[in-house]
């Protein structure tokens, strides 16, 4: 969870730099957004797997 917080902070800083015209590498914004999405996907997959395991355990 700490990593996603760091990425969100970096994205905020990149957006601020973009708004003030100081952003040198605009592709980094897209890269950070993709990294956040990847982490959220992994967290959701784990959540679904845990729910399925709990359901399977209750049905046994």
pLDDT at 9 over 90: yes
The separation between CA 16 and the C-alpha centre of its own chain, rounded to angstroms, equals 19
Q: What is the CATH number of the domain that holds 17?
A: 1.10.287.310
pLDDT at 1 over 90: no
Note the pTM of the prediction, 2 decimals.
0.86
Sign of CA dihedral 17, 19, 23, 28: positive
pLDDT digits (tens, 9 = 90+) for 24-58: 999 999 999 999 999 999 999 999 999 999 998 88
Whose structure tokens read 């990294």?
35
Domain that holds residue 23: 2-59
* Tokens coding 30: 């897209």
Number of domains into which the chain is organized? 1
Predicted local confidence at residue 5, as pLDDT: 97
Length in residues, the chain: 60
Predicted local confidence at residue 60, as pLDDT: 73
The separation between CA 23 and the C-alpha centre of its own chain, rounded to angstroms, equals 21
* Tokens coding 22: 């100081």
């Amino acid at each position: 969870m700490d990593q996603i917080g760091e990425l969100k902070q970096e994205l905020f800083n990149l957006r601020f730099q973009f708004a003030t015209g100081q952003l040198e590498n605009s592709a980094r914004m897209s890269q950070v957004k993709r990294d956040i999405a990847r982490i959220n996907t992994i967290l959701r997959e784990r959540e679904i797997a845990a729910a399925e395991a709990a359901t399977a355990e209750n049905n046994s």
